[in-house]
Amino acid sequence: MTFTRLEPDPSISHLIECYWMMQSENRTPKIEKIIPDGFTELIFNYRDVYKAKTDGNWYLQSPNLLAGQISSYFYLENTGLTGSCAIKLKPAALTQLYGLNMELYLDKIVDLDTIPNAIFSGLKNIVLPFQGIAQLKMTLDNHFIQLSKAAGQNPLEQVLELVFNSNGMSPVSELVATAGVSERQLERLFKKYVGLSPKYYSRIIKFNYIFELIKSGKNSWTEIIYKSGYYDQSHFIRNFKAFTGEDPSSYFFEEANMANFFLMKKS
């Protein structure tokens, strides 16, 4: 499998985290685990589609997808050749750009064609057929630069900045103070714009920080537990298992798979 990550034009970096592509000539079915990373996605498959297992049962995905926030891991399996390109969006961007209520898309991957928004159809038409990485980046940059001119405001901008800058370790009380609203109002805003509560979303970002610390190669397990804000080893292991289904000592951090590509932010 070949993975590629592209940075968006700086003028839209407040809306777009990255563009990514994956491609494989291997038809042999392989199960991949997807782990929460705190971002939503618009995904376009220009080769064979994938199967997904999100609730204990496998089902065939559609070619063009919207993926909301996920609260735990799930599985994908190729049905043939892989050819996918996608837009990974900042946490509130789908609401800003398309007016979506993200609580409705929590733990869901839906057929893009079922969402009643003509802009999605236009996006599909410019992404497909896939004509190469350079062309895709230019096309997507131009599209989102134009779309960003009409984007709504993000009332969680400062709060989300605090969540990321603190690697998910700021207490909810600090998030509430930064937002300047009540805790209940903040919860409602997070559910609408992000899909998750501020506390749970912070847990995901805190968990993601583990991978950044491991990627640096400069930390022992004891240092990783301490720096990522966990009280003790058992607390650390429980949280890691909740998001991955695995013990950290048995997880293959260097394996070239989808989860590590996204969590290690490899180019």
Q: Is 118 exposed, middle or buried (0-12, 13-18, 19+ CB in 10 A)?
A: exposed
Q: Yes or no: say if 164 and 125 are a contact pair by the CB < 8 Å rule.
A: no
CA distance 57 to 75: 10
Q: Is the pLDDT of residue 169 over 80?
A: yes
Higher pLDDT, 167 or 265: 167
| Bridge partners for 23 per DSSP | 2, 83
Same domain for 89 and 54, yes or no, is yes
Residue 210 is which amino acid?
A: I
pLDDT tens readout for residues 186-227: 999 999 999 999 999 999 999 999 988 888 777 788 888 889
Kindly report the average pLDDT of the chain as a whole number.
91
Same domain for 7 and 109, yes or no, is yes
pLDDT tens readout for residues 110-166: 999 888 777 777 788 888 887 888 888 999 999 999 999 999 999 999 999 999 999
Q: Please tell me the predicted confidence (pLDDT) of residue 129.
A: 80
pLDDT tens readout for residues 198-208: 999 999 999 99
Same domain for 129 and 208, yes or no, is no
pLDDT tens readout for residues 35-76: 999 999 999 999 999 999 988 889 999 999 999 999 999 999
Prior bond to 129 cis, omega within 30?
yes
Residue 167 is which amino acid?
A: N
Same domain for 121 and 249, yes or no, is no
Instruction: Domain count for the chain, please give it.
Output: 2
Q: Looking at residue 108, which CATH number applies to its domain?
A: 2.60.120.10
* CA neighbours closer than 13 Å in the CB half-sphere of residue 146: 8
Domain that holds residue 196: 157-263
CA distance 143 to 137: 10
Q: Please tell me the predicted confidence (pLDDT) of residue 266.
A: 55
Q: Is 256 exposed, middle or buried (0-12, 13-18, 19+ CB in 10 A)?
A: exposed
Q: Yes or no: say if 172 and 199 are a contact pair by the CB < 8 Å rule.
A: yes
Average the pLDDT over 246-264 and give the result: 80
Assigned token pair, 202: 């912070």
